Amino acid sequence: MIIVLMGYMGCGKSTIGRQLSKILRFDFLDLDDYIESKEQYSVKEIFNNKGEIYFRKKEATYLKEILESKGNKVLALGGGTPCYGNNIDLILNSKISKSFYLKASIPQLISNLKNEKDKRPLISHLNSKEEFAEYLGKHLFERSPFYSKANYTISTDQKSVSEIVEKIVLKLV
């Protein structure tokens, strides 16, 4: 089984995924880390040197590779992964995956992302809190139709990592 965690950047996919994988004794994969190891460049370097289109093509290739692999895994996607190409269909049509949308509000995302802007190519240029909120709101509006196709939606606001992990585990039994 592959448990696929999706949602906007900063919603906690990697943190929750690591904890979930420990509890279930599954392997943990972060798609961005996987891409970086395969490409030998950071996501930021790929965006800067080869562009977003190149990145999205590689992202789709590696997502397919993981979804076709053997073994139990928790996979944390990049925030945009389900929204490009036919990635959401790959996830939903996989007979061995269950997908979870980790849904966070804009204020929660701002709080989670405010100290990580430099590490995130898509938001590194945003300066004011208003600009940040407007950007996140627009992106969430565009991406929500993809995220909402997940098998399950888990609200993450005001919940600890262990509470979210428990909600996911309960959906699997």
Query: What CATH number did the domain enclosing 67 receive?
Result: 3.40.50.300
The residue-averaged pLDDT of 94-103 equals 96
The number of folded domains in the chain is 1
Distance CA 64, CA 27 (A): 17
pLDDT band at 117 (very low <50, low <70, confident <90, very high): low
Please check whether residue 136 lies inside any domain of the structure. no
Please check whether residue 57 lies inside any domain of the structure. yes
pLDDT: which is higher, 47 or 92 = 92
Under 8 Å between Cβ of 158 and 27 = no
Q: Which of 107, 134, 121 is nearest to 50 (CA)?
A: 121
Annotated binding residue at 78?
no
Q: Could you read off the pLDDT of 30-61 as tens digits, one per residue? A: 999 999 999 999 988 998 899 989 999 999 99
Annotated binding residue at 81?
no
pLDDT band at 159 (very low <50, low <70, confident <90, very high): very high
Model pTM score: 0.92
Please check whether residue 138 lies inside any domain of the structure. no
User: Residue 71 is part of which domain span?
Assistant: 2-105+144-167
Residue 101: φ, ψ to 5°: -95, 115
Residue 128 has pLDDT above 80, yes or no: no
Residues in the chain: 173
Annotated binding residue at 14?
yes
Please check whether residue 127 lies inside any domain of the structure. no
The residue-averaged pLDDT of 145-166 equals 96
Annotated binding residue at 80?
no
The residue-averaged pLDDT of 58-66 equals 97
β-bridge mates for residue 75, sequence order: 4, 29
Two tokens, residue 127: 């300066």
Distance CA 150, CA 67 (A): 15
Annotated binding residue at 83?
no
Please check whether residue 112 lies inside any domain of the structure. no
Distance CA 99, CA 57 (A): 21
How distant is the alpha carbon of residue 44 from its chain centre? Answer: 16
Average pLDDT of the chain? 92
Annotated binding residue at 25?
no
How distant is the alpha carbon of residue 150 from its chain centre? Answer: 12
Task: Give the pLDDT score at 121.
Answer: 62
